[in-house]
Amino acid sequence: MESLEDIMRMDKAKLSAPVKTIDEKWKLLPAFLKTKGLVKQHIDSYNYFINVEIKKILKANDKILSDADPNFYLKYLNIYVGMPNVQESLGIAQTMAPHECRLRDITYSAPITVDIEFVRGKQTVIKKNVEIGRMPIMLRSSNCVLTGKTQAEMAQLNECPMDPGGYFIVRGTEKVILIQEQLSKNRMIVDTDSKGNVQCSVTSSTHERKSKTYVYTKKGKFYLKHNIFSEDIPVAVAFKAMGVACDQDMIQLVGNEEEAFDAMAPCLEECHQAQVFTPLQALEYISSKIRQRMYGVKRSKADEARDVLKNVILAHVPVVDWNFKPKAIYLALMARRIVLTQAGKIKFDDSDYYGNKRLELAGQLLSLLFEDLFKLYNMDLKKVADKNIPKVRATEFDITKFMRPDPITNGLSNAISTGNWTIKRFKMDRGGVTQVLSRLSYIACLGMMTRINSQFEKTRKVSGPRSLQPSQWGLLCPSDTPEGEACGLVKNLALMTHITVDVDEMPIARIAVSLGVEDIENLCRDENGDFYTVFLNGNILGMTNHYQKLVTTFRKLRRAGYIDAFVSIFPNHSHKCVYIASDGGRVCRPYIIVQNEKPLVTSKHIVDLTREFRCFEDFLHEGLVEYLDVNEENDCMVALYESHINKATTHLEIEPFTILGVCAGLIPYPHHNQSPRNTYQCAMGKQAMGTIGYNQRNRIDTLLYALAYPQAPLVKSKTIELIHFDKLPAGQNATVAVMSYSGYDIEDALVLNKASLDRGFGRCLVYKKQTCAVKRYANQTFDRIMGPKVDRDTYKPIWKHQALDMDGIAAAGVRVENRQVMVNKEMPTVTAPSLQPQMGQIGQTEYKETPITYKGAEPSYIERVLITCNQEESFLIKMLLRQTRRPEVGDKFSSRHGQKGVCGLIVPQEDMPFSDLGICPDIIMNPHGYPSRMTVGKLIELLGSKAGVLEGKFHYGTAFGGDKVTDLSEVLIEHGFNYLGKDFVTSGVTGEPLSAYIYFGPIYYQKLKHMVLDKMHARARGPRAVLTRQPTEGRSRDGGLRLGEMERDCLIGYGASMLLLERLMISSDIFEVDVCGQCGLIGYSGWCQYCKSSKDVSTLKMPYACKLLFQELQSMNIVPRLSLKRYNEL
């Protein structure tokens, strides 16, 4: 503390100057999103795949040789993914815009071409641009036609500029490859197995193989476990097999501590007992435990074991020239981890910790799939070569004739369209990897792009993987997760999260070595030295005794741009390790760097940013901002606000509200809400109707909801602006009175003002698609479309065909009612090619009517009709049907705070309460919705909206910020309103004032997709199932309403036996059977076939299902007999 005199002596100006803060550092966020976009993860990953990874895959599989001809070879020189196009007839390729693909049910894909060098006859030929397949193109990726287009150009292509891209269009449907979360590969994880033994496991993953290796303790001994071994191998044997013959070396590899000696001693003993003394003996021991023999060349047992050790066990540790030392060290380190964990020196690893997770994106998944398909393709080519080369033909064998694009094209597009990811070499068979992009609302679409799917099983009842992990802070949205079985397993990215792609290891290793990392083989474990082991992507790189220097220099180099920005480095002091990670799939986000208690980003930089002198990349290049992943974050001190910076601080958060994701970002004042409410809103925001994109009127979707008059919310948040929700809104600002009105507002029901509905509140448009394909068949017949049938007398079309135009297709703008025909299609009765060749002229083909009819309680209008053809060149008729709906009792509404409710009553305006200004509410909401829900954010939203309306501006309700309640209240006072937002209100029914002040003002309300019209259902009689003759089930089949078990129980309890009989039999599947009283079997028309008599046959009624059961039992040799008695003989 400075003394008073010191302060007095200081410069006046300096004293009075305000403490400088970076006012608008949040502006980094729009800059970040501008360069990266909202779905940058997907696009980055895909770009990496088609530009880099695919070339690596080619290089790894670049040669095809044939067993038939030693001179034959095919070598791939290069591979390219072109621009998306479509092959129209005659093989002319045309560039293709995504929207046309959507409309015409085509795949948005580009040709994959290769340059090849191959042997034809006796000469080698180089051929360029050979197409080997077609790659579905991700929208807005580097090869998409939309990249770099301006808004006007987008409009020309029928694309919405707000659309995030990052999805595929496969056969006309938009498909997203969801982000998959999994445990990171090639890292040691120490935990306990199901029996409580400590184990250390590593999932090795290389291009060829994926395997999991365990080291675990059992009864104080260490074993090596792997699927390839039928029995677990004592580690000592494994060490011996790897050439560590000397027992002392073995122990020293594990460690010099007392614990290491103690732990290893029993292992050595076991090794001796097994009569394994030399490496050769060890190898033979191991080979005897190998489960599956490798076929092919016969080799000695030792060679076989050596091969397994080299390629299968810890596959990711490279073995160069049969030098097993690195692998032995790695194995020893695994054992050491267990020893230290048991000694309590280090902790168990937490597999839920987000630093141990990797996210797999479209690029990685596609590259796995492509490599598999490419290998298969090459194998097929080889087979073709083997088969065809020995044959003597006039023309020389030309392999390019057999290079068909279909297998790869179909493999890729089938995988994306079904979501079944089958990769043979990893024995991977995953389903549900892709999903149809939800276009219910703009938010639903964005939310889907940021969704993370966990590989964890949904049925298991473990809380660990589901609960929110502290290490997810800032990277995953804490609010946005579904309720129910997938709770916590499906997550969403936060606003600023970035997912890394692979970075080349070589330069990093070189830099590390020049920073003093020494080869581990040259060192022995120092007793108490300060040596840290350095890992690069899970592999041991070496050791250093100046880890601090290594880490700081490394970071400095990274900030200076000499190392890729996404490479992370961090020391782990309990492990005594430095980990460097450059692998793909790590989550990270940017921070402002703080040096000497000052953030490097200053107000001047922000000014430059707003003037567009600088972009986000510049901040990165200049070392003002850097990306940290979860692990490196743990080695940093991050200040949340500038005022929190102290001596130890290394980084500063850019903005606190970025811990939320896209969906939670819509909620105003979420930090005032009870947390589950925000979670509910995240789920509901995706069901809100509104606008889905600027191109929504050009789309023909199976189902599309749109609001007639969508409004931007009066209380915005920064996130809303960043994701442009205010331009594609989904909701309306309704004036809400929080009060009780009538009894129709219990259980969250809302009371709506009829005049508001008359004026267009909540009015929505529902679009549905109807498709019809006009096909050609194998016997040269084809479907035809006939004109409308005409009434014989009036010469007007019959009622059923009233909607049809002259061409037999309903005209645009026409109204169609239930069961009217929209396309009058006819299909030939015989479509199979006839076996006998038809002689002479072809007979008249007969047709049967297969019209497309309209089904629905309410009539629809035809918005538009599209007649086009798809890739198979069959005619395609798509019709868009439109309904305009006004809200009715039972329609679902929700505010942005997880407060949903259905409309319970619609009240005329004159009955509505009104304020002094004559304002009537649009919605009356029951105040009982508040106390238990604790959605204080909604209360503040009302104040904010009210103040905003009075001032004519939008207020902010940004998370952890936003406009203050006191400020909002001041605005209310200024305009003559009550400070608390409560108004003096008069009842519209009695005309007298209400005895309470009413909380009154606008709240943003969403209309949800659940509407009565789509759900209403009743049936008196209708269709029955064929087998059981019981009424069908479900609304879509006009089914009956089930009287279930519990209802049945009630009726039994009450004793309403006749009602039961009526419900369960008479109104359901009553059936009259003739039963023979003699044999008890079922006869027919008064005759018993078994007794050959009609003497004792009587007719009785039973459920058809019962009769069916008897007959089915008979068919399996069980005879159910009915014993009959007269009712008066009982």
Partner 1 sequence: MSHIKDMRQKVQLTEHTVFNVNSTNFPGTYSDFDDVWSQERFEERFQIDIISLSETDMEFDMVGIDAAVANAVRRILLAEIPTMAIESVAIWNNTSIIQDEVLAHRLGLIPIKADARLFEYKQKDAVEPTSEDTLQFSLKIKCTRNNVSSDATDPNVLYKNHRVATKDMEWVPLSGQEHLKGIRPVHEDILITTMRPGHELIMDLYCVKGIGKDHAKFSPVATASYRLLPEIRLLREFYGEEAELLQKSFSPGVIKLVETPDGQTMAKVANARLDTCSRNVFRHDELKDDVSLLRVRDHFIFSVESTGILPPDILVSEAIKTLMGKCQKFLHELDSVNIGKGKHKKGGKKN
Q: Which residues are catalytic?
A: 748
Judged by beta carbon, residue 81 or residue 706, the one nearer partner 1 is 706
Q: Is 916 in the site for partner 1 (CB under 8 A)?
A: yes
Query: In sequence order, what are the beta bridge partners of 87?
Result: 93
Of 169 and 739, the one with the shorter C-beta distance to partner 1 is: 739
623 binds partner 1 (CB under 8 A): no
Select from 882, 928, 1010, 1063 the one that contacts partner 1 (CB under 8 A). Answer: 882
Q: Which of 16, 150, 844, 995 binds partner 1 (CB under 8 A)?
A: 995
Largest CA-CA distance found in the chain, in angstroms, rounded: 128
User: In the bound complex, what is the minimum distance in angstroms from residue 768's beta carbon to partner 1?
Assistant: 14
Of positions 483, 758, 1033, 1112, contacts partner 1 by CB under 8 A: 758
**Three-class SS of 632-653:** HHCCCCEECCHHHCCCCCCEEC
Nearest distance from C-beta of residue 668 to partner 1, angstroms: 24
Position 930 contacts partner 1 (CB under 8 A): no
The distance from CA 633 to its chain's CA centroid, rounded to whole angstroms, is: 26
Q: In whole angstroms, what is the distance from residue 978 CA to residue 969 CA?
A: 8
| Segment contacting partner 1 by CB under 8 A, of 481-489, 555-563, 989-997, 1111-1119 | 989-997
Among 16, 836, 990, 1115, binds partner 1 (CB under 8 A): 990
Cβ proximity to partner 1: between 777 and 997 the closer is 997
Give the shortest CB-965-to-partner 1 separation in angstroms.
14
908 near partner 1, rule: CB under 8 A: yes
Closest separation between CB of residue 973 and partner 1, Å? 6
Q: 785 vs 994, which CB is nearer to partner 1?
A: 994
Q: Which of 588, 398, 600 is nearest to 503 (CA)?
A: 588
Tokens of 977: 């309103």
CB of 984 to partner 1, least distance (A): 5
Q: What is the CA radius of gyration of the chain?
A: 37
User: How far apart are the C-alpha atoms of 731 and 662, rounded to whole Å?
Assistant: 17
Q: Which is nearer to partner 1, 758 or 967 (CB)?
A: 758
Beta carbons within 8 Å of 341's beta carbon, 6+ residues apart: 190, 198, 347, 348
Contact call for residue 920 and partner 1 (CB under 8 A): yes
Long-range residue pairs from 788-795, CB within 8 A, at least 24 positions apart, any chain:
788/824, 789/824
Kindly tell me which residue out of 356, 779, 871, 986 binds partner 1, with binding defined by CB under 8 A: 986
- Smallest distance, partner 1 to C-beta of residue 765, A: 6
Residue type, 243: G
CA distance 127 to 133: 16
Stretch that binds partner 1, among 153-161, 255-263, 512-520, 988-996 (CB under 8 A): 988-996
Contact of 877 with 771, CB cutoff 8 Å? yes
Q: Which helix (H) or strand (E) holds 463?
A: none
DSSP class of residue 840?
A: S
Q: Give the range of 261-269, 326-334, 628-636, 758-766 binding partner 1 by CB under 8 A.
A: 758-766
Determine contact, residues 533/547, Cβ cutoff 8 Å.
Answer: no
- Cβ 1035 to partner 1 shortest distance, Å: 26
Of 813, 833, 1023, 1086, the one binding partner 1 (CB under 8 A) is: 813
Q: Is 56 in the site for partner 1 (CB under 8 A)?
A: no
Q: Is 742 in the site for partner 1 (CB under 8 A)?
A: no
Q: Is the dihedral of CA 950, 951, 952, 955 positive or negative?
A: negative
97 phi and psi angles, rounded to 5 deg? -95, 150
In the block, which residue shows the tokens 């050790």? Answer: 309
The reply to whether 858 sits near partner 1 by the rule CB under 8 A is no
Does residue 861 bind partner 1 (CB under 8 A)?
A: yes
CB of 880 to partner 1, least distance (A): 11
Q: How far is the CB of 469 from partner 1 (least distance, A)?
A: 46
Applying CB under 8 A, which of residues 470, 484, 918, 1034 lies at the interface with partner 1?
918
List, in order, residues 6 or more apart from 192 with CB less than 8 Å away. Answer: 198, 199, 348
> Could you give the angle at which helices 547-559 and 505-514 cross, rounded to 10 degrees?
130
Helix axes of 325-342 and 247-254: crossing angle, nearest 10 degrees:
60
864 binds partner 1, rule: CB under 8 A: no
| Residue 984 in the binding site for partner 1 (CB under 8 A) | yes
Residue of the chain from 68, 428, 994, 1091 that contacts partner 1 (CB under 8 A): 994
CB-based contact 188:201 (threshold 8 Å)? yes
- Please identify, using beta-carbon distances, which residue of 70 and 991 lies nearer to partner 1: 991
Q: Binding segment for partner 1 among 310-318, 352-360, 575-583, 972-980 (CB under 8 A)?
A: 972-980
**Which residues, listed in sequence order, are joined to residue 1098 by a DSSP beta bridge?**
1075
Please tell me whether residue 966 binds partner 1 under the rule CB under 8 A: no
State the minimum distance, in angstroms, from the CB of residue 697 to partner 1.
6
DSSP 85-109: EEE-GGG-EEE--HHHHHHHT---E
Among 978, 1028, 1078, 1093, binds partner 1 (CB under 8 A): 978
CA distances from 282 to 249, 276, 309, 311 (A): 16, 6, 12, 17
- Tell which one of 321, 457, 992, 1129 touches partner 1 (CB under 8 A): 992
Q: Could you tell me if residue 109 is left (phi over 0), alpha (psi between -120 and 50 degrees) or otherwise beta?
A: beta
Ramachandran angles phi, psi of 1068, nearest 5°:
-110, -95
* Contact between 910 and partner 1 per CB under 8 A: yes
Distance CA 112, CA 136 (A): 10
Tell me 1021's DSSP state.
S
Task: Compare residues 83 and 980 and give the one whose CB is closer to partner 1.
Answer: 980
Q: Is 473 in the site for partner 1 (CB under 8 A)?
A: no
Name residues whose C-beta falls within 8 Å of residue 514's C-beta, 6 or more positions apart in sequence: none
Kind plus residue range of the DSSP H or E element containing 563: none
**C-beta of residue 523 within 8 angstroms of C-beta of residue 543:** yes
Quick note: the x/- pattern for partner 1 over 502-541, rule CB under 8 A, is ----------------------------------------
Alpha helices in 135-194 (DSSP H): 151-156
Q: Shortest gap between Cβ of 642 and partner 1 (angstroms)? A: 34
- Decide whether 499 or 920 has the Cβ nearer to partner 1: 920
The phi, psi pair for 320, rounded to 5°, reads: -100, 130
CB atoms within 10 A of CB 610: 13
Stretch binding partner 1 (CB under 8 A), from 438-446, 912-920, 943-951, 953-961: 912-920
Tokens of 20: 């400088």
- Amino acid sitting at position 166: G
Q: Which residues, numbered 678-737, are part of the site for partner 1 (CB under 8 A)?
A: 697, 708
# residues contacting partner 1 (CB under 8 A): 40
**What is the SS3 assignment for 8?**
helix
Looking at residue 440, the DSSP 8-state letter turns out to be S
Name the token pair of 46: 């895909």
Residue that is written with structure tokens 């007398």 in the block: 793
Confirm or reject binding of residue 993 to partner 1 (CB under 8 A): yes
Query: Can residue 884 be called a binding residue for partner 1 (CB under 8 A)?
Result: yes
Nearest distance in Å: CB 930, partner 1: 16
**In terms of CB distance, is 973 or 1052 closer to partner 1?**
973
The answer to whether residue 909 forms part of the interface with partner 1 (CB under 8 A) is: yes
Residue 18 or 976 having the CB closest to partner 1? 976
Exactly one of 59, 401, 759, 1048 binds partner 1 (CB under 8 A); that residue is 759
Q: Which of 220, 529, 561, 760 binds partner 1 (CB under 8 A)?
A: 760
List interacting residues with partner 1 (CB under 8 A). Answer: 697, 708, 754-755, 758-760, 763, 765, 813, 861, 863, 882, 884, 908-910, 914, 916-920, 972-973, 976-979, 984, 986, 988, 990-997
